[in-house]
Amino acid sequence: MYQKILLCVMVICSSIVPANANTADRDDVFTSQDLDTVAAEAKSWKGTRYRYGGKDKNGVDCSHFVYAVYNSVFEGFDYRMADEYLRDSDFSPTKSPIVGDVIIFPAVRGSSAHMGIVTDMRGLKFIGAQSSTGVKEASFAPGSYWGKRPYKILSLLAAE
């Protein structure tokens, strides 16, 4: 139920706020251009095969994929496993998710945590390294495979 309410709020907000809205209203200090660069870099990985523990375009898992993309845009970005983002002070749940933010699907009922990078808030899509498809865009809309799992969208905070 909570997820459906959240989705309704997100859909209403996305119809009010343009998809390329400036991030000045957010708690972070990164520009929309920074996060657009994150999304573009993520899309350049499309078609890369999934490999558990993989770290490059020869094969990559979800956490190394997000790390590689963010590190290419934000030099010195530290590697984290998917579930570590939820406890990391460099990231914060955002009330206004946009393209380039990180989406986390926490581990539930024996499944592992998963993650990716938001590519389309209106269409509710993210790109990630899925074991079944490799690096590919997927939906987190209600009723979709990922939309049935709980998720959190996090924004990267600026270093102090």
pLDDT at 157: 85
Instruction: State the angle between helix axes of 32-43 and 62-73 in degrees (0 to 180), rounded to the nearest 10.
Output: 130
Give the tens place of pLDDT for each residue, 66-87.
999 999 999 899 999 999 999 9
Q: Give the residues across from 76 on adjacent strands.
A: none
Query: Minimal CA–CA distance to 128: which of 55, 28, 60, 52?
Result: 60
Question: Beta-carbon neighbour count of residue 33 at 10 Å?
Answer: 12
Complete domains list, the chain, with CATH: 2-156 (3.90.1720.10)
Instruction: Give the chain's residues under pLDDT 70.
Output: 1-32, 158-160
For the record, the structure tokens of 77 come out as 């970005």
Q: Please report, for residues 13, 32, 38, 66, 82, the alpha-carbon distance to residue 114 in angstroms, rounded to integers and kept in the order given.
A: 25, 24, 18, 11, 6
